[in-house]
Amino acid sequence: MLKSSFAISAENMTPKQRWTALTVLSVSLLVVMMDMTILIMALPDLVKDLGTTSVQQLWIVDIYSLILAGMLIPMSALADRWGRKKVLLTGFALFGLISMLVTMVDSSEQVIALRAVLGAAGAMIMPTTLSMIRTIFQDPKERATALAVWSAVSAAGAIIGPIVGGALLEYFSWQSTFLINVPFALLAVLAGVFLLPEARNANTARWDIFATGLSMAGMVALVWSIKELAKEGLNDVASWMVFAFAILMLVGFVIRCLRSSDPLLDVRLFQNNAFTAGTIATLISMFAMNALLLLVVQWLQVVEGLSPFKAGVYLLPMALGSLFIAPLAPMLAARIGARTVLAGGLAIAGVGFLIMFFFGHPLGYPALAASLLLIGAGSSSLAIASAIIMLSAPQEKSGNAAAIEESMYDLGGVLGIAILGSIAAQLYRNHLNIETFINQGIAGPLAELAKESVVGALEVSAQLGVAELAAAAVSAFNDSLAMAGLIGGIIMMAVAVVVYVLVPRTLDITKSQSH
């Protein structure tokens, strides 16, 4: 009996087994997505406990997504060859073990190292959960619903991270943001052993070491250079050199894959317009939403003065909008068409962004809650993007499709924070007009600190007793947030049009497509 449990196959799974397996995969994904944002709330405690510098804080946050981005493609290819269940469970075992080691660290460098290994473990988990759904759910209708659940969990995970982090920090130390992973990892491994089927590509070819090196170097360099350009400004020569290196590596990777009969990543998938539309929708949605989250969390904590936990709770409308609407997306797609639901969802999210602009002078929480609800509901259309992406790829290429989609999630988040976050920071500086406070002793390093962020401006205001600076900084930040809403709204509306044009009118995600 035990042997047959281990040897479960996708073809022989009962409906109950399939949906239970989806629960395991969804919890797996939730933990990885939460880990992207959960530590943001713990940074002040890290500074107090370990003396973490501002540069180290950035590395603690960034290294996870850097390693994750670099290893998504190789790990997905490994799963296709070695076995998706093996890679998933190995990733989760590693995730739990590394999280436990946080009790032994006593320096910021060690925390950075732990986050790096967690990023590698996350790269083993994320694309594997998506490709296994394609394997487990053979019926297209069931698969569409399963992908909708996966998409909702993925979108909600990054939002839930700060909420969980804030709640933990109300009662426990910063180490709890790592230790929360351990019970989830243990449960996922134990349940996965018995409930998940093994799946691999039967036509395994020689592992392409050169392509692996090109993809890892290119993705890590790309993410790092974009982050650095956002922090150092567009005049930073070193960042541009790394960016050029990244493009060179990624172009080389694409050429290598195009010339291979069995590539590490089948980039020919982009020849399918529907597949391309799904990836664009994912990339741009994450671009806009991650940047918004960063700015809104600052607004809630700094401008509204909320605790980390309360700030997380105030983000709930976005998570609820996604969680409630995403499971309904396949049913809507069956009635009015996949392209209408996907493009319509992006447009609804765009309206959410625009609310922040039109009702953001000054911004109040009722307007923000309405905005977050619409953005969350609109983002639920990413369930259709996932279904389109996975449906447009042959089953033996499901690992490739999953790696591409996950790369879009990661890259979109990085680009959004880097580009839209940088634009918002520049708008804040322009609106603040710090030169008007020179006569009140705010010059030199103090002026630079105030220009750097609204947090810095409030510190300078409190230090020198200049209340007018605090008011000006809050107003400037409000204006920059509103303008970010306008930019995000325009981008989402434009992508909605592009997606509507690219996705065929007759595409039905509840039916198998011929390849």
Give the alpha-carbon dihedral of 492, 497, 502, 506, to 10 degrees.
110
Q: What is the pTM of this model?
A: 0.79
* Structural domain spans, the chain: 1-205, 206-261, 272-515
Q: Cβ atoms within 10 A of the Cβ of 498, count?
A: 16
Helix (H) or strand (E) holding 2: helix 2-6
Q: Please tell me the predicted confidence (pLDDT) of residue 223.
A: 79
Q: Which residue has the tokens 């487990």?
A: 136
Q: What is the pLDDT of residue 502?
A: 93
Residues linked to residue 360 through DSSP beta bridges, in sequence order: 363
Distance CA 153, CA 421 (A): 25
| Residue-level pLDDT at 290 | 78
Work out the mean pLDDT of the chain and round it to a whole number.
83
Do 272-515 and 1-205 fall under one CATH topology?
yes
Q: What is the pLDDT of residue 114?
A: 92
Q: CB atoms < 10 A from the CB of 435, how many?
A: 11
Q: Which residue's entry shows tokens 């976050």?
A: 421
Identify which of 95-99, 422-426, 451-455 has the greatest average pLDDT.
95-99
pLDDT digits (tens, 9 = 90+) for 223-277: 788 877 766 777 889 989 999 999 999 999 999 989 887 788 888 888 889 999 9
When pLDDT is averaged across residues 469-488 and rounded to a whole number, the result is 88
Distance CA 479, CA 360 (A): 7
Do the Cβ atoms of 140 and 91 come closer than 8 Å? no
Summarize pLDDT for 275-316 with one digit per residue, the tens. 999 999 988 888 888 788 778 888 888 888 887 778 878 888
User: Can you tell me the distance from the alpha carbon of 433 to that of 423, in angstroms, rounded to the nearest whole number?
Assistant: 16
Fold of 272-515: Growth Hormone; Chain: A; (1.20.1250)
Residue 490 pLDDT more than 70?
Answer: yes
| CATH class name, domain 1-205 | mainly alpha
Q: 144-195, pLDDT tens digit by residue?
A: 888 888 877 877 776 677 778 778 877 888 888 889 889 988 988 988 888 8
Residue-wise over 261-281: b if at least 16 C-beta within 10 A, else e? eebbbbbebeebebbbbbbbb
Whether the per-residue pLDDT at 4 is higher than 50: the answer is: no
Q: Over 80: is that where the pLDDT of 15 sits?
A: yes
